[in-house]
Amino acid sequence: MQRRPLFPSLAGSDKPFSETDVMLSARLKRISCVVLLVVLLPIAAASAPPSAAPKKALLEFHSGFWINLHHFLYVEARSTLAQKSARDPVFSSADEGELRRLNPTELSAWDKSVAYYASSLAGRDLLFDDGLIAVKNALEDAESSTDLAQAPISPELKEALRRAAPIYRAHWWARHDAQNRAWIAQVEPLVSQYGDGIAQDLARIYEEPWPQYPVRVDSVVYANWAGAYTTTEPTRPTISSSDPANQGTAALEIVFHETSHGMIDKVSRALRTAEAGVNTKRTAAPFRAGALWHAVLFYTAGELVAERISGYVPYAEKNGLWARAWPEPARTLLQQDWKPHMAGSASLQVAVSQLAADLAAAPGR
C-alpha cells in the first residue's frame, strides 16, 4: 500500500477517493476445471438432490498471459514517463533482476515494445480511459489465443505485444502465472464458503442484482496504482496477486469490494439526491458528497467479511484508508446512519440522506 497509495478508485478501481476505483492459457483453464471437478463432484454427488438446478457460479477467476503482459509493459513504460506517480506499482526485485538477464536481441525487442507503450498507452488511465478499457477486455478475452489474431486491438499494439510475448514467456510468465494461481487458490475456498451469503447481502443492501453470472476476475501480478480496479458493463475486476494488501482473508473482501462497483449506482444516485436536499437548506458553502459512495462501498464490503470471519480487520481500517480519505466523523456516521440499512431497519434513501445530513453538519463541513 505504500507502493500504491490506497485507493481511490472510482468507477471501479479501488481504493478510495475517486471513484470506481482487477488469464492463462487454455491449458491452465483446463487444469483448473479438472481440479474443480475432482474436488466438487464427489461433494455434489453426495449431497445434492438429483433434481437440483445447477448452481450458478458467482465468480470465475483467470490468470491470462496477454492481460498480464499488458499490465507488465504498462508498468515498465509508465516508470519512464515524466508524469509517473509515486503511487504507481513498481517491479519487484525479482522482476527487475530478470530484466537485466535479457540478451541484447531480447532487450532490443523488449525496449521497442516498452517504447510503444510509453508513447501510446502509459500516459492514459487503466480505469478511466475508454480505449484502455476496451484493450483490457479484448486481451482478457484473448486468453487462449497464441497470436492475438482475432483480438480487436490496433495493429500497432498487437505488434508490440507479439514482439514482447516470447520474451515475457521465457523470463517472467511461469513465475507470474504461478503467483496468480496461488492467489486464486487462496481466495476460491473463501468464496466457496462465504460468497453466496455475501453476494445475497450485497444485492439486498444495494438493491441491485449481482452483475452477471459469473463475474470474471482477472488476477494479474501488477494492476493499477490502487492494487485493483474494476471496469463495468460488464463488471470485470482486475486484481493484483502481488499486492501485500490483497492477501489472505483480505482477498475475499477485495473480490467482493471490486464486484460491488457494478452494484453501486443506486447508492450513488441516492447520495446525489441527499446532497441536493442538504444544499437546499444550507447557507454555508455547498456540501459535496464527492466519493462518499466509495466510503459506503468500503465500509459495507469490510463489514460483511468481518461479520463472517472472527477477528477480521477490514481493508480500509487495516490500511489506514479512513484517516487518509474519509477522516472522522465519516466512519462513525457510516456506523450510525448506514449500518441500520445494512441490518434492514432503514431504507436506502433514508440512510443515505441521514448520512449526508450528519456529515454536512459536522464541524468544519
Nearest to 256 by CA among 309, 204, 297, 209: 297
Beta partners for residue 229, in sequence order: 13, 238
Kind of pairing between the strands at 59-62 and 215-220: parallel
Contact window for Zn ion (CB under 5 A) among 14-22, 60-68, 90-98, 242-250: 14-22
Task: Write down the least CB distance from residue 164 to Zn ion, Å.
Answer: 30
Please report how close the Cβ of residue 188 comes to Zn ion at its closest, in angstroms: 21
The region of 8-16, 124-132, 153-161, 300-308 touching Zn ion under the rule CB under 5 A is 8-16
Q: Which grid cell is 198?
A: 455475501
Q: Which is nearer to Zn ion, 16 or 64 (CB)?
A: 16
Q: Measured from the CB of residue 246, what is the shortest distance to Zn ion in angstroms?
A: 13
Which residue, 137 or 230, has its beta carbon nearer to Zn ion? 230
Q: Choose one: 1-9, 87-95, 283-291, 326-334; the region binding Zn ion (CB under 5 A).
A: 1-9
State the cell numbers at 95. 522482476
Which stretch, 17-25, 197-205, 232-240, 310-318, contacts Zn ion (CB under 5 A)? Answer: 17-25
CB of residue 16 to Zn ion, shortest distance in Å: 7
Q: Cβ of residue 82: shortest distance to Zn ion, in angstroms?
A: 28
Piece of the chain touching Zn ion by CB under 5 A; list 2-10, 94-102, 162-170, 198-206: 2-10
**CB 280, min distance to Zn ion, A:** 30
Give the residue with the Cβ less far from Zn ion, 6 or 161: 6
Q: Given the rule CB under 5 A, which of 3-11, 125-133, 139-147, 269-277 is the region that contacts Zn ion?
A: 3-11
**Residue closer to Zn ion (CB basis): 167 or 215:** 215
Residue among 21 and 177 whose Cβ is closer to Zn ion: 21
CB of 296 to Zn ion, least distance (A): 10
Q: How would you write the chain as a 3-class SS string?
A: CCCCCCCCCEECECCCCCCECCCCCHHHHHHHHHHHHHHHHHHHHHHCCCCCCCCCCCEEEECCHHHHHHHHHHHHHHCCCCCCCCCCCCCCHHHHHHHCCCCHHHHHHHHHHHHHHHHHCCCCCCCCCHHHHHHHHHHHHCCCCCCCCCCCCCHHHHHHHHHHHHHHHHHHHHHHHHHHHHHHHHHHHHHHHHHHHHHHHHHHHHCCCCCCCCEEEEEECCCCCCCEEEECCCCEEEEECCCHHHCCCHHHHHHHHHHHCCCCHHHHHHHHHHHHHHHHCCCCCCCCCCCHHHHHHHHHHHHHHHCCCCCCCCHHHHCCHHHHHCCCCHHHHHHHHHHHHHCCCCCHHHHHHHHHHHHHHCCCC
| Nearest of 12, 31, 9, 19 to residue 180 by alpha carbon | 31
Is the Cβ of residue 122 or residue 296 nearer to Zn ion in the bound state? 296
Residue closer to Zn ion by CB (options 22, 355) is: 22
Asked whether 74 and 126 are in contact (CB, 8 A), the reply is yes
Shortest Å distance, C-beta 10 to Zn ion = 7
Q: Which stretch binds Zn ion (CB under 5 A): 18-26, 185-193, 206-214, 233-241?
A: 18-26
Q: Alpha carbon 112 to chain centroid distance?
A: 29
Q: What is the contact mask toward Zn ion in residues 21 to 60, using x (rule: CB under 5 A)? A: x---------------------------------------
- Please give the C-alpha separations between residue 150 and each of 139, 146, 147, 163, 356, in angstroms, as whole numbers: 10, 10, 8, 17, 48
61 vs 256, which CB is nearer to Zn ion?
256
> Does residue 14 touch Zn ion according to CB under 5 A?
yes
| C-beta of 14 vs 275, nearer to Zn ion | 14
Nearest distance from residue 291's CB to Zn ion, in Å?
Answer: 9
Q: Which residue, 9 or 224, has its beta carbon nearer to Zn ion? A: 9
- Least distance to Zn ion, CB of residue 127, Å: 10
Total residues interacting with Zn ion, rule: CB under 5 A = 3
Residues in touch with Zn ion (CB under 5 A): 9, 14, 21
